[in-house]
């Protein structure tokens, strides 16, 4: 049982976890230091001198302390799983066994840099819709709470108001009285979703199935998994990890239940002396192009090269799919906001038109 101080320390560490950009710089500096001839401990000490981010400083200090106790580098990373991914640790663990740690560290930094570019693309493309939604919500709330009651209050009789106006008035009264209840319900729904997705398997299976079934969204999800599958498989193959172990690591990395299950099925088939392409062939989860490429790699004993080429293809395709998804979301958001604003304005316009006719 953790004490209050340990709980606060745990919360502080995770709130100050290094960003993706910081992680990218960390691995890149570590790779450069290694190639310059420094040991892993000396490399960390060198990086610490110029680092200012509290979360990363804590991690580096902890790593140096554990390295002083003769632990290997991959084990020190595993103690900070909230910041480092399973595949990163697996790659470093294999590199320690083979002796090519600088190259692996550089490869990880390049992969993180690609992730950073994709995240920046998503943020840039989604900024306008997000800002538009927030301004629309604020405008609608102001109209409902302040404008509608003021205008409707000018009418001598409230009994002849249209039903849409009465509904908006009731909504205004409810928001004024129970705004805290609305916030609590929204927070509860968000928390419940996260808890159900994490701990209730049937709910997770349903959500993951929807993600690979909804048009356009499924294209992005599937392309992302094709990219991660080919990229990780290439990296693990390149560093001498067996296909069976590689597929187990990839299954641990994948969060989607259906992809995780299929990768474990492929691993089981390989143990039974089936080809990987044979196991993937009839699955709707995998792109036929990837299956064909892997088949070529297996027949020519050149899996590493073909996987590297196809992972580059899927990385570029993923960026295009993300652009398409965001471009399609924007008009739907505009239409939804227009409907909400139309309802609010119409609830004001109808009684005002009736008043003009009476005058």
**Full DSSP string of 234-248:** HHHHHTT--HHHHHH
Per-run averaged pLDDT (10 residues), the chain, 359 residues: 63 75 87 86 88 86 89 86 80 77 82 78 71 77 75 64 76 83 91 91 93 89 91 80 84 88 92 90 89 88 85 88 80 79 74 61
Residue with tokens 């009285």: 177
CB 27 within 8 A of CB 60: no
Residues 6+ apart with CB under 8 A from 78: 84, 89
pLDDT of residue 9: 67
pLDDT of residue 189: 93
For residue 154, the model assigns a pLDDT of: 66
Residues 6+ apart with CB under 8 A from 244: 267, 270, 271
- How far is 149 from 131, CA to CA, in rounded Å? 27
- Beta carbons within 10 angstroms of residue 353's beta carbon: 11
Largest CA distance in the chain: 91
Q: How far is CA 145 from the centre of its chain?
A: 36
Pair of tokens at residue 341: 């604003």
Between the CA of residue 154 and those of 93, 148, 150, 161, 352, what are the distances in Å? Answer: 74, 10, 7, 12, 10
Structure tokens that stand for 29 in this block: 């500096």
- What is the pLDDT, as a whole number, of residue 160? 65
**pLDDT at position 24:** 86
Q: Distance of CA 65 to CAs 14, 121, 342, Å?
A: 19, 38, 63
| Structure tokens given for 141 | 């709330």
DSSP per residue over 261-310, as a string?
Answer: HHHHHHHHHHHTT--HHHHHTT-TTS-HHHHHHHHHHHHHT-HHHHHHHH
Among left, alpha and beta (phi > 0; psi -120 to 50; other), residue 287 is beta
Answer yes or no: pTM beyond 0.85. Answer: no
Please state, as a whole number, how many other Cβ atoms lie within 10 Å of the Cβ of residue 295.
17
């Amino acid at each position: 049982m953790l004490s209050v101080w340990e709980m606060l320390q745990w919360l502080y560490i995770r709130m100050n976890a290094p960003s993706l950009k910081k992680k990218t710089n960390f691995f890149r500096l570590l790779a450069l230091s290694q190639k310059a001839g420094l040991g892993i401990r000396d490399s960390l000490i060198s990086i610490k001198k110029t680092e200012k981010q509290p979360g990363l400083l804590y991690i580096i200090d902890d790593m140096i302390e554990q390295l002083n106790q003769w632990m290997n580098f991959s084990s020190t990373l595993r103690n900070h799983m909230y910041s480092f991914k399973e595949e990163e640790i697996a790659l470093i663990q294999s590199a320690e066994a083979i002796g090519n740690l600088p190259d692996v560290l550089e490869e990880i930094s390049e992969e993180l840099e690609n992730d950073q570019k994709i995240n920046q693309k998503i943020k840039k493309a989604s900024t306008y819709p997000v800002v538009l939604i927030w301004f629309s919500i604020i405008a609608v709330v102001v109209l409902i709470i302040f404008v509608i009651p003021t205008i409707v209050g000018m009418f001598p009789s409230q009994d002849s108001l249209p039903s849409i106006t009465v509904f908006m008035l009731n909504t205004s009264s409810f928001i004024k009285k129970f705004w805290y209840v609305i916030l609590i319900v929204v927070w509860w729904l968000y928390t419940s979703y996260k808890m159900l997705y994490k701990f209730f398997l049937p709910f997770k299976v349903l959500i993951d199935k929807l993600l690979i079934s909804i048009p356009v969204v499924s294209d992005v999800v599937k392309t992302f998994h094709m990219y991660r599958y080919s990229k990780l498989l290439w990296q693990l193959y390149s560093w001498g990890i067996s296909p069976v172990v590689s597929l187990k690591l990839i299954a641990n990395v994948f969060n989607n239940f259906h992809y995780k299950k299929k990768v474990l099925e492929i691993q089981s088939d390989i143990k039974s002396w089936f080809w990987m392409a044979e196991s993937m062939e009839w699955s709707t989860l995998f792109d036929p192009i990837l299956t064909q490429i892997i088949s070529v790699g297996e027949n020519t004993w050149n899996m590493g090269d073909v996987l590297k080429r196809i992972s580059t293809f899927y990385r570029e395709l993923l960026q295009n799919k993300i652009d398409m998804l965001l471009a399609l979301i924007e008009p739907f958001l505009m239409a939804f906001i227009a409907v909400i604003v139309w309802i609010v304005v119409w609830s004001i316009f109808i009684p005002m038109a009736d008043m003009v006719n009476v005058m």
